[in-house]
Structure 1
Amino acid sequence: MNHDGRHDFDFLHGHWQVRNERLRERLAGSDDWEIFHATQTCEPVLGGLGNVDAFLSEWRRDGGEDTFQGMTLRLFDLQRGRWNIWWAGSHDGVLEPPVSGGFADGVGVFEGELEHHGRPVRARFVWSAIGANTAHWHQQFSIDGGASWETNWHMWLRRRDAGGRLPHEDAVIELRRYTLKPGRRDELIELFERELIEPQEAVGMHVIGQFRELDESDRYTWVRGFPGHAARVEALHGFYGGPTWKRHRDAANATMIDSDDVRLLKPARPRSALPAAQRERAPVGASADADGIVCIGVCELDAPAQAGFLERFERDFAPLLEPAGLSLLGVYVSDDTANGFPRLPVREGEPALVWFCGCADAQAPRRLAETPQWRAAVADALRAGLRRAPQLLRLAPTARSELRG
């Protein structure tokens, strides 16, 4: 049965916030990107055979007084089984010639003949990273008939919920522990909190928590999530290949000795993921650190946790947490899916079970480790797949960390 593509753009209906990354000069060998934000609203027309969106940006064209507005008309050609897409902007009010195409394997590609400053170009629109709350569009131009392409515009779309917050789908997370140069942790935290949280979230990531380790003054630990592995790869390419990281990477990297201690994790059970944040993230410039201590427990294993240790943890370890003053928030196991972004290494072939707790006070993890019941559970587990005693990371949330104790 042939695919009926008339509903392929249904994901776009609704309201979005948009991060734009756009080359200032196109087809000129430029690497100077401008960043601006916009809102977009998309509604169906013709009973679902098409849609119209309205785009309102904060950008002013060529220093003009009015912010730039755009609109897109998309119509599905039933006879040809293809989408035609027209675009117009407030700079001239002219509907451009269409690009045409469709979707395959979740990616939409649309091409057509346009003009740029009076010069004929072949244009390509690509839709990808499509999820319930995310989407990515980028535009490419070719002046050699499609032999080579210049990418000159990215739009990263994120939905907001009824309360105005970004919803997240953290099917996979990264636990990242950095070793920093002596005395430079606060420098990295200040840069991260000011410049690097919102740009990551704009391209599809979720910055879950950032922490100072209480027992190692030059350790910085943070956690981020992704809707899935394909979305992770696209989001990482978008951020680390984009203008924000290019602008700040030297300053960030100058604080670090090692940033490769990274575990790729997935929820141990369908309901064992970290809960949604109870409060909105503190704004940029917040100076007081978040309250509440977090403990992350890392159990390094001889075999995947699903081979038996997960049940042991739930039976022998988890019941000991609350009496010691720790409230279990989430339990994760190593995700052995191949790392699709090798530019950022992860620990591979090292199975682990990782749990997150809020702490009644900073001494709760130490109280836990000193109880006879915990010591007995560890001794038994060391004979049944646990490689070493669980590592208990005592963590103080930074001012803008969502995850708190």
Structure 2
Amino acid sequence: MSDKHEAADGRHDFDFLHGRWQVRNERLRQRLAGSEDWDIFHATQTCEPVLGGLGNVDAFLSDWRRPGQDEDFQGMTLRLFDLPRRRWNIWWAGSHDGVLEPPVGGGFADGMGVFEGELEHEGRPVRARFVWSGIGANTAHWHQQFSVDGGATWETNWHMWLRRRDEDGRLAHEDAVIELRRYTLKPGRRDELIELFEREFVESQEAVGMHLIGQFRELDDPDRYTWVRGFPSHALRAESLQGFYGGPTWKRHRDAANATMIDSDDVRLLKPARAHTALPAAARERAPLGDGGEDGGTICIGVCELHAPAQDGFLERFEREFAPLLSAAGLELLGVYVSDDTPNRFPRLPVREGESVLVWFARCADAGAPPRLAAQPQWRAAVADALLAELKAAPQLLRLAPTARSELRG
């Protein structure tokens, strides 16, 4: 059989799972009882191929203990590709009883794997479904569902969100699309939101596939909070947003977060202007929870509102006339982005649509760098010239102080 035919028959569909993963688990405490109470715990999972790639075995080591157990829960999965039937069979066993459960079977279509079979739960027959989705180079999502009515309705009772780490042991990221989010907060409540955000919303978002790039206090408005997060693709953005905003962490803390806000809809979807203009990887891991952190310096985000897409001419003008002026004022250009007009695949969170912008990020020598830039005669001349054509208004220069746990720092 040719390599091309082997790739098409499904035997390599689980190759993405090989290697070592960090896993966030959300497990329903009581199944088939109408419960909305979830355990959240973490695990590592290591998966290796067997039988020349016709199967794999994984080891799942968690930090969670089942009620009545004295040791952390462990699990293992055996997956085998049935060559004659061109389908996968999956067996699971846990350290609570050491019994290999009956298999679920199925395959992949359109990037999603669905596997079903007949199991028991507490002596009660159930139809079980395993679903794999959100699959990227460094992300994957598995969830389990049970049905007691032959598949007419399903209850989801377990999510596993898988993330890879790079060679340095840090979460691996691919930011093909980012969100620039600016919130208007109720007077005097910014620090309250920041404390909640840094405690509850950093690791919980990254665990489901996002990248928390930076969180900031705006220096020129005490009631503005700005933050940036990235995603590998629009499809994975939709999946990870559903995972977070439909999950237990947001449900537990959303009322407290929303109580600090007046408006949270000032959101721009952006993509790198060119392949080489994405923000660089952070120089180091973000500060751990509770670390006051050193002075994060100052970051400047420049927002250029345009009459037409930046690619129609302003991008070249920015690179030719604007970017060379930054260093003289004490700004180091880090990244350049333009509007991403891909339809929003998670309408629950609105974004600004139908607007063209170019957005740049810079590290500042000091907090006075953006005002110095705006006062430069050359900058003012370049702005005046661009206002006759591409620019709708003078570029907005946001002066930002990174929070203690912001990855992007000055």
TM-score interval, smaller chain: over 0.9
Whether the 8 Å contact between 1:294 and 1:397 is mirrored in structure 2 is: yes
- Further displaced range: 361-370 or 57-66: 57-66
* Equivalent residue, structure 2, for 1:134: 139
1:33 aligns with 2:38: yes
* Equivalent residue, structure 2, for 1:69: 74
One of 346, 353, 357 as aligned partner of 2:358: 353
Query: 2: CA distance between counterparts of 1:221 and 1:207?
Result: 12
Whether the 8 Å contact between 2:22 and 2:45 is mirrored in structure 1 is: yes
* Equivalent residue, structure 2, for 1:401: 406
Whether the 8 Å contact between 2:140 and 2:162 is mirrored in structure 1 is: yes
CA apart distance, 1:91: 1.0
Change (3 A) 1:35 1:110: same
One of 325, 329, 345 as aligned partner of 1:340: 345
One of 388, 395, 410 as aligned partner of 1:390: 395
Which one-letter code corresponds to 1:120 in the other structure? P
* Equivalent residue, structure 2, for 1:212: 217
Kindly report which structure 2 residues correspond to 1:102-121, keeping only aligned pairs within 5 A, or say none: 102-121=107-126
* Equivalent residue, structure 1, for 2:159: 154
Calculate percent identity across the aligned residue pairs.
Answer: 83
- Further displaced range: 339-348 or 1-10: 1-10
Which one-letter code corresponds to 2:19 in the other structure? G
Query: 2: CA distance between counterparts of 1:70 and 1:150?
Result: 22
Query: 1: CA distance between counterparts of 2:285 and 2:63?
Result: 24
Query: 1: CA distance between counterparts of 2:229 and 2:291?
Result: 20
Query: 2: CA distance between counterparts of 1:28 and 1:204?
Result: 29
Please give the TM-score of this superposition, normalised by the length of structure 2: 0.98
Whether the 8 Å contact between 1:23 and 1:32 is mirrored in structure 2 is: yes
Which one-letter code corresponds to 1:52 in the other structure? V
CA apart distance, 1:7: 0.6
SS at match of 1:67: coil
CA apart distance, 1:163: 1.4
Cα deviation code 1:252-311 (max 9, x no counterpart): 111100000000000000010000000110000122454221000000011111111111
Deviation beyond 3 Å, 4+ runs, structure 1: none
One of 365, 368, 371 as aligned partner of 1:366: 371
* Equivalent residue, structure 2, for 1:99: 104
Query: 1: CA distance between counterparts of 2:188 and 2:16?
Result: 47
CA apart distance, 1:350: 0.8
Which one-letter code corresponds to 1:356 in the other structure? F
Which one-letter code corresponds to 1:237 in the other structure? Q
Please give the TM-score of this superposition, normalised by the length of structure 1: 0.99
1:292 aligns with 2:322: no
Whether the 8 Å contact between 1:289 and 1:400 is mirrored in structure 2 is: no
Query: 2: CA distance between counterparts of 1:61 and 1:183?
Result: 43
Cα deviation code 1:32-77 (max 9, x no counterpart): 1110111100000000000000001111111421111100000001
Cα deviation code 1:213-257 (max 9, x no counterpart): 000010000000000000000000000000000111111111100
Where does the alignment leave 5 or more consecutive residues of structure 1 unmatched?
Answer: none
One of 44, 56, 64 as aligned partner of 1:59: 64
* Equivalent residue, structure 1, for 2:180: 175
Which one-letter code corresponds to 1:7 in the other structure? H
Query: 1: CA distance between counterparts of 2:295 and 2:239?
Result: 31
* Equivalent residue, structure 1, for 2:248: 243
* Equivalent residue, structure 1, for 2:24: 19
Whether the 8 Å contact between 1:73 and 1:86 is mirrored in structure 2 is: yes
- Further displaced range: 325-334 or 290-299: 290-299
Whether the 8 Å contact between 1:176 and 1:221 is mirrored in structure 2 is: yes
SS at match of 2:67: helix
CA apart distance, 1:164: 1.1
* Equivalent residue, structure 2, for 1:279: 284
Which one-letter code corresponds to 2:234 in the other structure? H
Cα deviation code 1:174-213 (max 9, x no counterpart): 0000000100001110111111100000000000000000
SS at match of 2:378: helix
Query: 2: CA distance between counterparts of 1:133 and 1:153?
Result: 20
SS at match of 1:60: coil
1:79 aligns with 2:84: yes
Cα deviation code 1:334-364 (max 9, x no counterpart): 0000001111100000110000000011000
Which one-letter code corresponds to 1:32 in the other structure? D
Whether the 8 Å contact between 2:270 and 2:338 is mirrored in structure 1 is: yes
CA apart distance, 1:384: 1.2
Query: 1: CA distance between counterparts of 2:15 and 2:296?
Result: 42
* Equivalent residue, structure 2, for 1:233: 238
Whether the 8 Å contact between 2:278 and 2:336 is mirrored in structure 1 is: yes
CA RMSD, 1 decimal: 0.9
Kindly report which structure 2 residues correspond to 1:39-54, keeping only aligned pairs within 5 A, or say none: 39-54=44-59
Query: 2: CA distance between counterparts of 1:17 and 1:248?
Result: 24
